[in-house]
């Protein structure tokens, strides 16, 4: 499967740069800042925390939420 730097398809969820994801355990919201090969960089919305995660881990620990553009 070809991978471009702006999106990553993992299972049934396609992850794109700019997507908002919610941590299933804590409920904190994160934004997908960058996708490089099999690594996804997430940045917390309310804190300066960043996470570098393998794409397989993202689907296990996070769920998609509405993007800000979708809310307007």
Q: pLDDT tens digits for 54-63?
A: 888 888 999 9
How many residues in total does the chain contain?
72
Partners of residue 44 on adjacent β-strands: 30
CATH architecture of 7-71: Roll (2.30)
Burial class (CB in 10 A: 0-12, 13-18, 19+), 2: exposed
Domain segments of the chain as ranges:
7-71
Inform me whether the pLDDT recorded for 71 exceeds 70: no
Q: How much is the average pLDDT of 47-67?
A: 86
Q: pLDDT tens digits for 18-29?
A: 999 999 999 999
């Amino acid at each position: 499967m070809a991978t471009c730097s702006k999106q990553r398809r993992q299972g049934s969820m396609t992850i794109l740069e700019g997507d908002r994801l919610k941590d299933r355990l804590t409920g904190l919201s994160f934004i997908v800042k960058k996708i490089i090969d099999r690594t996804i960089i997430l940045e917390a919305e309310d804190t300066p925390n960043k996470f570098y995660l393998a794409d397989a881990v993202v689907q296990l620990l996070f769920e998609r939420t509405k993007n800000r553009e979708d809310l307007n």
